[in-house]
Chain A
Amino acid sequence: MPSGDDDATSNHAVTFVVYRGTMETTMTTIEESDIWRALKDVKDPEIPTISVVDMGIIIKVDVQSPSDVTVIMTPTFTGCPAIDVMRADVEQAVRNLGVSNVHVSVTYDTPWSTSRLTDEGRAALLRHGLALPATLPDTGTEPTSIVLSLDVLSETACPYCGSHNTTVKSPFGPTLCRSLHYCNACLQAFEGFKPV
C-alpha cells in the first residue's frame, strides 16, 4: 500500500539515480527484470492491493538501451477510467530507475483477460474482499452460447466464507471490472472480479 513515507523514499531514490546516471555509472545495468520489479510497485488505483503486473495488464517490456525503454500495456475494459493514471504511473516508475526515454503504449493487440491475473494477483483481489472470477467455459463461436457462458457468474465463490451457494445480483458493479453478488450461506453481499 503506497503511503506518504514510501513516496518520500522513492523521491530520494530518483534524485540519487539521476545523479549517478549523469556520472554514467549505473545506467548500463538496467535489465528487463529491473523494469518488471519496479512495475510491481505500481498499483491499480481502483484496487490498491494489486499491482499492474499482477493484474496482467503489462503485456511487454522492451529495453532497447539503458536509456530507452518501451512498455506495452492494455486496459481491462476499453472504458477503464484508470488507464491514464496507470499509464502515467508506469512511465514514472521506469523513469525513477534513471531511464530517460520511456515510451508507454496502450494497445488491444493482446486483449486482457482474467487468465492473465497472476497467483499473487488473485491473492491480492481476495485481500481486497473481491471474489475471484469463475472460469468461463469454452463455448465455441455460437453467439447465444457465448452470452450464456456468463451463467458461470452464479458459481462465484464467496470471498468471506468460500461457499458456492451464491446469487448474482448484477453483472455490473462499482467499477467496470466488478459484479455484485450475495452469499446465501453467510448472508453477506460481496463484489466479484468479472471473468473476461
Chain B
Amino acid sequence: MNATKDLLYRIADDCLIIAHRNSEWTGLGPLLEEDIAFSSIAQDKLGHALSLYRILHEEFGERDPDTIAFTRNEKDFTCCHFVELPNGEYDFSLMRHFLFDAAEFLRWTMLKNSSIASVAALAAKIQGETKYHVYHGRTWVIRLASAGNEESKARMQSALETCWPFALGMFEHGVDEQALIREGVFAGEDELKTQWEEFVRSTMVEAGLIIPEHDAAVLGGRKGYHTEHLQPLLDEMTVVFRTDPGAEW
C-alpha cells in the first residue's frame, strides 16, 4: 500500500475504534456531563473517520466508507493497540482520552501543512474540534490528580502507567515514513511523538503525575497485528450492518 493511503487508514482506523470505545460510555458515564462528553467525542471521532474514508474513496480509489468501516477483516485494520483496549474504569478511559486526543490534536495541527489539499482543509476543520477534546481531558486529569483526594490521584497515576507503553505505540511507523516526509504529506511519527511528549509533560507537571521512564512502545497495530480485544469490538460494531448490508438509512 502506498505511504499516503497507509497514513490515512491509520488515522481513520484509530478514530473509528476509539469512537466505538467512547460510545460505550453512553448511558454509563460517572456523571451526566461526562456521559455526554464521551458520547459527543465519539460522534466527533466518527466524523473524522468518515471524512478520511471519504477522501480514500474519492481520491484514492478505495471502497465506499461504509464498506471500509464495516466489512474489513481484523488484520486489515491498522489502528494501534491503545484504542482497542476495553474501557476499564473511568480513570483509564479518561487518561487514554487525554493521551490519545493530545496526539490526534497535534497530528491534525501538523497536517494543516499537508501537501494533499483535501487533507490540509480537513485538518484545519478538525483542529478546531479536537482542541475541545484535549481541553476536556486535560481539565479532568488535572482536577482529579491535583485537586482531588489521595484515591483519585493514585488512580490517575496508575492509569498513566497502564496507558504509557500503549500510548507510545500510537507512533509506530507506517509503511514508508520517509516518503511522507519527502513529499510533504506529513512530517512523520517521530516529529509528532516529540511534540506530544512535550505537550503531555507540561500537563503532567501541572497535574503532579510522574511519567514512566523506561517503557517500550507496544507495537504491531500498524502492521495488522492486534490485541484479542479488537475482533469482539468489530463483531459488535458491525452487527447491524451485517444483518442487512444493503439497507438505506
Name A residues whose Cβ lies closer than 8 Å to a Cβ of B: 77-81, 107-109, 111-113, 141, 143-144, 146-150, 169-174, 176, 180, 194, 196
Contacts and interface: CB of A to CB of B under 8 A. Distances in A.
Contacts of A112: 125
Given A111-B125, A172-B40, A172-B132, 12 more contacts: A78-B125, A78-B129, A79-B44, A79-B47, A143-B199, A148-B135, A170-B36, A170-B37, A171-B37, A176-B129, A180-B33, A180-B36
B128 interface: yes
Contacts of A180: 33, 36
B44 A176 contact: yes
A176 B40 CA distance: 6
B135 A77 contact: no
Interface residues of B, number: 36
Interface of B: 33-34, 36-37, 39-41, 43-48, 50-51, 105-106, 109, 118, 121-122, 124-129, 131-132, 134-136, 138, 195, 199, 202
A172 B41 contact: yes
A78 B33 contact: no
Nearest to B112: A141
Contacts of A176: 40, 43-44, 129
5 contacts: A78-B125, A109-B121, A147-B135, A147-B138, A194-B132
Contacts, number: 86
Given A77-B129, A144-B202, A170 B136 contact: yes
B128 A144 contact: no
B160 to A, nearest CB: 19
B30 to A, nearest CB: 13
A173 B36 contact: yes
A147 B131 contact: yes
Contact of B51 (A108, A113, A149, A174): A108
B111 to A, nearest CB: 12
Contact of A171 (B51, B126, B136, B195): B136
Contacts of A169: 33
A143 B51 contact: no
Nearest to B196: A143
Contact of A143 (B34, B50, B195): B195
A150 B135 contact: yes
B33 A143 contact: no
B37 A78 contact: no
B124 A111 contact: yes
B47 A77 contact: yes
A77 B135 CA distance: 17
B249 to A, nearest CB: 9
Contacts of B128: 111, 113, 196
A173 B35 CA distance: 10
Nearest to B130: A147
Nearest to A153: B135
